[in-house]
Amino acid sequence: MEQNTYPEHDVADLSLAPLGRRRVAWARSHMPIMRSIIEHFEKEKPFTGLTIGICLHVEAKTGVWLEALTKGGAKVVITGSPGSTQDETAAALVEDYGVSVYSRRDESFDDHINYCRKVLSHQPDIIADNGADLHELIFTEPEFSGFQTSLLGATEETTTGANRLREDFHADKFSTLIINDTQAKRIIENRFGVGSSVVDGIMRATNVMLHGKKVVVIGYGYCGSGTAQRLRGMGAHVTVVESNPLTLLEAHMEGFYTSTLEEALPDADMVVTITGRDNVLRKEHFELMRDNTIIANAGHFQREINLADLAAVSQSQDKIRPHVTAYQLEEKQLFVLSDANLVNLSAGDGNPIEIMDLGLALQSLSLERIALNRDSLQNIPQPVPFDIEMQVAELAVKHWINH
């Protein structure tokens, strides 16, 4: 694509595109489900004439997904999340697929929200959201309220976003297919994918040994349970903290130590939040932790860990490794990984490629359903239609087991 024909964008450096192109090619070679969907979309063109606005991590696996959407006829505009953007992939998406990308690895949360506004300024017909940030603007800012009646529909990737749609916005103006409501997403991506990628991110960030470490995992949903299992598999002694009594009982029956947060923190070497809720760790919790505790967030938003509270009780802060900040308190120091951004994406490469092959296939076929058959959907947040989930599961069996 000639430089003067590039779409509007805000990325770190277009000269990084060759490296991003190689990243996307590597991901594509390990994504047989998405390759089959690319062929299908290229032939059928289900998105002809439509603009799809996206908020999702801008990295190589996402690049393969956007290739499918653009070859399916869509105009695509995307923003990512703070700390997770691969700047080289962002550049390649602008150059190779004509995608309007508003995303930088070093963006702040305020930058991120402004980038979400930029996405909506392109007047998308469909949105694909991650944490309900695009939905929030549509339901809270008058400038974007018109989307409540103009959108054909939406998808939402995460548990966090689904909770916000159902609890905060009572979104009933258009259909939103919740990818995370599928068993395929919950079990394959959340339990196995997130579990392994969180351990990978922590190891890359710290280079510390997990064997023998006392680790507190806060939250035992599908992501939390997978993370706890993978940490235990690495030899860590894992204690689970969970507010839902049934889920806590599940953790107990699966052999984990269980405790309250107040009881577990003073003995922890490492604490991992993975709840999708705000302010899980606050001033009173930091005061309970012992010297040299490592703190990581694997939930959707940075604000699971209240960094303002931590800064308020700290005498100084020092970035001692690329993804490790030391907070010096009066009698101890605490280490926060990746500024409390998603540790698996900010310190690592996110979920394994093959895992996201399945997850992004769910996204792709859900968007196709919205584009071609939206009248079959209710104007509420709802699970992905069962036939789509089964189609993706069959493709996974075909390519992963019976190939």
Annotated binding site: 158-160, 221-226, 242, 298-300, 344
Do residues 61 and 27 lie in contact, with contact meaning Cβ atoms separated by under 8 Å? yes
Pairing of strands 316-321, 324-328: antiparallel
Query: What token pair was written down for 295?
Result: 């703190």
Return d(Cα 355, Cα 358) in angstroms, integer: 6
For 124, 217, 294, the CA distances from 265, given in Å and listed in that order, are: 45, 10, 11
Query: What token pair was written down for 103?
Result: 């995303």
Return d(Cα 77, Cα 360) in angstroms, integer: 17
Query: What token pair was written down for 326?
Result: 């030391």
| CA-derived radius of gyration, the chain | 21
Return d(Cα 392, Cα 317) in angstroms, integer: 46
Pairing of strands 333-337, 324-328: antiparallel
Return d(Cα 10, Cα 83) in angstroms, integer: 15
Return d(Cα 18, Cα 16) in angstroms, integer: 6
Query: What token pair was written down for 151?
Result: 């959108």
Element (H, E) at 325: strand 324-328
Neighbours of 254 (CB within 10 A): 13
Query: What token pair was written down for 395?
Result: 């493709």
Return d(Cα 215, Cα 293) in angstroms, integer: 10
Residues that constitute the known binding site for NAD(+):
158-160, 221-226, 242, 298-300, 344
Do residues 119 and 77 lie in contact, with contact meaning Cβ atoms separated by under 8 Å? yes
